[in-house]
Amino acid sequence: MPVIEVNKLNKWYGDFHVLKDINQTVEKGEVLVICGPSGSGKSTFIRCVNRLEEYQKGEVLFNGQDIQAKSVNVNQLRADIGIVFQQFNLYPHLTVLKNITLAPLKVKKTPRNQAEENGLALLERVGIHDQAHKYPAELSGGQQQRVAIARALAMRPQVMLFDEPTSALDPEMINEVLNVMKDLAREGMTMLCVTHEMGFAREVADRVIFMDSGIIVEEAPPDVFFNNPKHDRTKAFLKEIL
Amino acid sequence: MHWDIVWQNFDYFLWGAFPQGPLGGLAASILLAALGIFGAFWLGLAAGLMRLSKRIWVQIPSIVYIEIIRGVPLLMLIFWFYFLAPVILGRRLPEFECALVALIVFTGAYIGEIVRAGVQSLPRGQMEAARGTGLSHAQAMTHIILPQALRNMIPSFVNQFVSLTKDTSLAYIIGVNELTKAATTVNNRTVVAPTEIFITIALLYFVVCYVLTSASRRMEKHLSRYQARGR
Ligand SMILES: Nc1ncnc2c1ncn2[C@@H]1O[C@H](COP(=O)(O)OP(=O)(O)OP(=O)(O)O)[C@@H](O)[C@H]1O
Ligand SMILES: [Mg+2]
């Protein structure tokens, strides 16, 4: 059974049809990269997967279960599907470690010492265990985004969503974040990444999809996508960003 | 000048006839202000959070409350509770309680607006990040949104609390035994020293409000660690 299955997903903001008949199947361990011009609906799409946005038509299945079904506990769903944002969105009033342990403590009721132990291990994994007791504002952008990744991982999610995680970073910090994401991909994490980092897509993506005006225009494995795109719109887009 | 009159009555200004008689003077004013601040904070927090609710029937009572109160002078409220309480409750409310309820209801509406604005001014990403890790709306509010919003609101809160403290003097109108009442009582009895008496009273109000503002400034500084450092 696929981890995520999206069938004929449609979403409107008022009259504005932002997602049009989106279909996608993501198997366990797959890495899906989503690209496309600004306003094409990439963020809206991945935010539908953890119900940060509600959709009006079609369905999103997580482990076979319709996520908008009444019986679904949305908090449990979000604990199982981590998300990382472009703007990091760390909690500025909490230390790095507390940013990470809050959800395990409150949602999973993990004992504090265990939550902190996990948190420190995760910080080690993203390469910043020495910053545990600092506040987010004291870290660089790249470090903050790695904390955000650790915060999502602390819930031991089955799927990770990334919404342009490197777009707000200075160029010299992009790689430290991409490397963490590549490690995750290699360790078998199921990932949906909105990103225009084509090196990342080439290296770890199983599939790349190109969205435009709420439609999935093209979908292909990375080598085909980059070397042999079928659609003119994809070609034009690739020419622009490469 | 008759500063000796002020001096002879100074303890009466500070705490009225206490401990032989009821608490009055500055002590009663401070008690009224402290209870008022406490009540107004919680009422305002509730009103502000209800105002932010997505559910219309939760919103409406708070909108009506806030809008009505903001268009009515505090003195009217004090009279309402004083004259209408017997009609509604069937018995007189003691003056102190009347004034206290009026102060709480009045200031609560302003605190409600401060809370609403403070919560709305936080970046949307904070709520999304919290919900995104599986926290419920209430958990996100308690652990992420309110701690940040309330810190940002401290200066506005203190403005309201200082106003409330000064407004306790209006309780004099319905005969509450507080600082302004103590001043007029002494003035009526002694007659010759109104200037001295009211200068003293003004100074006492000033000192209380000054202590309140400087305490808040210290608290703000203490709480702003996460904002001050870094970029
Ligand atoms: N809350 C909203 N209300 C109304 N319209 C919205 C809302 N959020 C997004 N939109 C619109 O929906 C469209 C898709 O937005 P979305 O954020 O998904 O695009 P995107 O592909 O992620 O773009 P970007 O690369 O700029 O992040 C845009 O035209 C946007 O203006
Ligand atoms: Mg986007």
The C-alpha R_g of chain A, in whole angstroms, comes to 18
Residue B202 located in a structural domain? no
Question: Closest residue (by CA) to atom 9 of ligand 1?
Answer: A44
Residue B83 located in a structural domain? yes
Q: Is A164 left (phi over 0), alpha (psi -120 to 50) or beta?
A: left
- According to the model, what pLDDT value does residue B227 have? 60
At B94-125, the pLDDT tens digits run 999 999 999 999 999 999 999 999 999 999 99
- According to the model, what pLDDT value does residue B228 have? 45
- According to the model, what pLDDT value does residue B212 have? 92
Q: pLDDT band at B85, cuts 50/70/90?
A: confident
Q: pLDDT band at B92, cuts 50/70/90?
A: confident
Query: Is pLDDT above 60 for B230?
Result: no
Query: Is pLDDT above 80 for B224?
Result: no
Which backbone phi and psi does A91 adopt, to 5 degrees? -85, 110
Ligand 1 pocket member A40 (CB < 6 A): yes
Question: Closest residue (by CA) to atom 4 of ligand 1?
Answer: A13
- The share of chain A scoring above pLDDT 90, in percent, equals 97
Which residue is it, tokens 């999973």? A108
Residue B188 located in a structural domain? no
Residue B199 located in a structural domain? no
Indicate the number of domains in chain B.
Answer: 1
- Residue A195 host element (H or E): none
Check A107 against B139: CB less than 8 A apart. Answer: yes
Distance CA B32, CA B12 (A): 17
Check B144 against A91: CB less than 8 A apart. Answer: yes
Domain of residue B65: give its range.
24-178
Helix axis angle, A141-153 relative to B124-132, nearest 10°? 40
**CA atoms in the 13 A half-sphere facing the CB of A26:** 31
At A148-173, the pLDDT tens digits run 999 999 999 999 999 999 999 999 99
Q: pLDDT band at B225, cuts 50/70/90?
A: low
Check B134 against A79: CB less than 8 A apart. Answer: yes
Structure token digits, residue B183: 């001043």
Ligand 1 pocket member A34 (CB < 6 A): no
Residue B18 located in a structural domain? no
Query: Cβ contacts (< 8 Å) between A90 and chain B: which residues?
Result: 129
Interface check for B90 against chain A (CB to CB < 8 A): the answer is no
Question: Closest residue (by CA) to atom 7 of ligand 1?
Answer: A13
At A211-222, the pLDDT tens digits run 999 999 999 999
Interface check for A135 against chain B (CB to CB < 8 A): the answer is yes
Residue B12 located in a structural domain? no
3-class secondary-structure state, position A174: helix
At B119-153, the pLDDT tens digits run 999 999 999 999 999 999 999 999 999 999 998 89
Structure token digits, residue A169: 């970073």
Query: Cβ contacts (< 8 Å) between A93 and chain B: which residues?
Result: 147-148, 151, 226
Check A135 against B229: CB less than 8 A apart. Answer: yes
Residue B46 located in a structural domain? yes
- According to the model, what pLDDT value does residue A241 have? 83
Burial class (CB in 10 A: 0-12, 13-18, 19+), A131: buried
Q: Which residue of B has its CA nearest to A137?
A: B230
ipTM: 0.92
Rounded to an integer, the average pLDDT of B182-207 is 93
Ligand 1 pocket member A24 (CB < 6 A): no
3-class secondary-structure state, position B17: coil
End-to-end CA distance of chain B: 58
Torsion of CA A97, A100, A106, A107, to 10 degrees: -160
Distance CA B144, CA A151 (A): 14
Ligand 2 centroid to residue A213 C-alpha, Å? 13
Residue window 79-98, chain A: list those with CB within 8 Å of chain B.
79, 82-83, 85, 87, 89-93
Residue B65 located in a structural domain? yes
CA distance A99 to chain B (A): 10
Q: Name the average pLDDT for chain A.
A: 95
Helices (H), chain A: 42-49, 74-80, 96-106, 112-125, 141-153, 171-186, 198-204, 222-227, 232-241
Q: pLDDT band at B1, cuts 50/70/90?
A: confident
Here the CATH number for the domain that contains residue B63 is 1.10.3720.10
pTM for the full predicted model: 0.89
CB–CB of A105/B134 below 8 Å? no
Check A83 against B132: CB less than 8 A apart. Answer: yes
Q: pLDDT band at B226, cuts 50/70/90?
A: low
Query: Is pLDDT above 70 for B30?
Result: yes
Q: pLDDT band at B18, cuts 50/70/90?
A: confident
- A183-192, B10-19, B80-89: which is most confident: A183-192
Which residue is it, tokens 């199983």? A206
Q: Which residues of A109-124 are buried (b: 16+ CB within 10 A; e: fewer)?
A: ebeeeebbebbbebbe
Parallel, antiparallel or unpaired: strands A57-62 and A4-13 = antiparallel
Interface check for B222 against chain A (CB to CB < 8 A): the answer is no
Ligand nearest to the CA of A37: 1
